[in-house]
Structure 1
């Protein structure tokens, strides 16, 4: 688990109150200090963040809690990066802005894709334990809520997908306007028309007020991360899209391939070593999900073919992927 810390906004306390959920009981379940919300924004490690969401799910004992959260979201519950994004012209611009500053909010990365079919926001999680299902569904519900709050229209996604889709429920299907389906990534899509609908909350002067401070905080966060950490984060986003080259990753980090290699060498590693280590950890996590066939895992890891993945996995573990699944040798390396 990464040692980075992320902000859980104090507005969460008001949101849970509105939902009729005891903050004290959730914190106790999550093994977090009782007074954690007493002194402004709460910072948590990824592990603590996941524990909080697992505890919230257990305390509420409601399979449709993500929908209730989506319906209860309001501007008052948003922290500065998200509030600032509501000042955008439309959902597309808001998504691009939140994607840039998402590391300030939680242990998640976003990949925003725009094409002739519309806008897709794919969610990427850090390596290690699988994120709580409630957190994933709530992330998709958040984007739906944001579109509706900004446009003041009942905007529905054209598609919602999860790598482990929950059992369909009338409340969830009604909220999204579509079933959450199985997919290669956790993602939500909107039509081009809905993505371009004007936000009635647009306020460029307010965005200009927030943006410099958000950029400063992001620079501080990135400065504290090693180059290898930044490469791993970029690979988590790029591998499912079939991109594993140093040119693609260096471009995302706004470095030349030569500069990237030099910085990694200064940390006693190399691009190939970080790529291999990241692939191995992701492979172990994917194989733990027995619904994923090895051919799909090879695709998610950006291998040219399944045989290339087999050879790499045997080099890492001495086992075939099927043998590893049967032997329980799937804990992170």
Structure 2
């Protein structure tokens, strides 16, 4: 995930995905024209399945649906009524993949075609593979209805592609609702609420199984089209590029701002000015990147905290421990233990770091 402070107004989402959501809402009895009007959208904007609309417009649509649908969890209801076809190239690309693992890799590669509101991540643990969803815009947390709809839709699309589809668990950031029956109807697995992430937990063996609709020739054509569509999308913001370079530099020690600026063909002063235009700074991005990577390594549970400190460019583990406590109010060991307790299906390795 990127903690890039994108302006959500500049982000876009797939017109075909928006069209699919509207079709589902119409089937559930809502007035399409009223929804379009509330979102300041027109049918012409959605006519081309490869077109894009503003992220903010689709987010308004989700809020309208949340208010209008009479259901304990409107997102789950919508997700079960979303068809893969209207997702255009991305949906067919996933369906025609050789295995579920290949489908997940394609989803990671081409996820921007669906939208820029959030990102999928895959974490591999000892007992399972976790597919996580995290928002791209820290100032706009993941909308519950949107995420639940996408999770339910993913299950709806994937289940028919495998003979023995089942989940090991499903995790949600929000508190447990009074009625969890709608969740069990969709996910049919152990549920965990008040989690750090929205996630679906899959058995490793499931990911290696061939998909029923695997179609290599079609897959090749779809990938070519997906690459063309991906190339049309606007380049990543400067802050996103900075975070990418920071990740590379951190692998070799303390990042160098001057070197990073040179890699971007900018002076240090221009770098700072342009980052300020995106409402962030070099130091903020460095701290955000370090925190994100630290939490990722600690959740994974494979590396000692002292080794993580070195991977993040800290000269001494104690400096990392202090920084991590400032970020989270916890020591790395406490954070790892908390994650292991809340996510028993993920990998954990006992640690003996001095700050545990």
State if a TM-score over 0.5 links the two structures. Answer: yes
The answer as to whether partners of 1:104 and 1:217 remain within 8 angstroms in 2 is: yes
Deviations 1:64-86 (A, max 9, x none): 32332333233333321121111
Q: Matched residues in 2 for 1:260 and 1:149: separation?
A: 47
- Structure 1 gaps of 5+ residues are 236-243, 251-256, 284-301, 314-333
The answer as to whether partners of 2:128 and 2:203 remain within 8 angstroms in 1 is: yes
Seen in structure 2, the aligned counterparts of structure 1 residues 211 and 221 have a Cα distance that, compared at 3 Å, is same
Q: Matched residues in 1 for 2:265 and 2:73: separation?
A: 48
Aligned residue for 2:121?
Answer: 111
1:33 to 18, 41, 50: 41
- Structure 2 gaps of 5+ residues are 1-6, 292-311, 313-318, 330-356
Q: Quote the RMSD (CA, aligned, Å).
A: 3.6
Is 1:135 the equivalent of 2:142?
A: no
Deviations 1:27-74 (A, max 9, x none): 2333x2343555223522222221111111112132232332333233
Q: Matched residues in 2 for 1:75 and 1:245: separation?
A: 35
Q: Matched residues in 2 for 1:248 and 1:105: separation?
A: 30
* Pairs aligned (count): 278
Counterparts of 1:1-333 in structure 2, within 5 Å, are 1-2=7-8, 3-9=10-16, 10-30=19-39, 32-35=40-43, 39-41=47-49, 43-107=52-116, 108-127=118-137, 128-151=139-162, 153=164, 155-167=165-177, 168-177=179-188, 178-221=190-233, 224-232=235-243, 245-247=247-249, 261-264=261-264, 266=266, 268-269=270-271, 273-274=281-282, 276-277=284-285, 304-305=320-321, 310=326
Shift of 1:182: 2.2
The answer as to whether partners of 2:170 and 2:199 remain within 8 angstroms in 1 is: yes
Seen in structure 2, the aligned counterparts of structure 1 residues 198 and 266 have a Cα distance that, compared at 3 Å, is same
Aligned residue for 2:301?
Answer: none
Q: Matched residues in 1 for 2:196 and 2:320: separation?
A: 17
The answer as to whether partners of 2:20 and 2:83 remain within 8 angstroms in 1 is: no
Q: Matched residues in 2 for 1:138 and 1:72: separation?
A: 9
Shift of 1:99: 1.1
Q: Which has the larger radius of gyration?
A: 2
Shift of 1:166: 5.0
Seen in structure 2, the aligned counterparts of structure 1 residues 183 and 264 have a Cα distance that, compared at 3 Å, is farther
Deviating above 6 A after TM superposition, structure 1's stretches of 4 or more consecutive aligned residues are none
Deviations 1:225-249 (A, max 9, x none): 33423445x59xxxxxxxx744368
Seen in structure 2, the aligned counterparts of structure 1 residues 258 and 97 have a Cα distance that, compared at 3 Å, is farther
Q: Matched residues in 2 for 1:160 and 1:304: separation?
A: 32
Q: TM-score, normalised by structure 2?
A: 0.66
Q: Matched residues in 1 for 2:258 and 2:217: separation?
A: 39
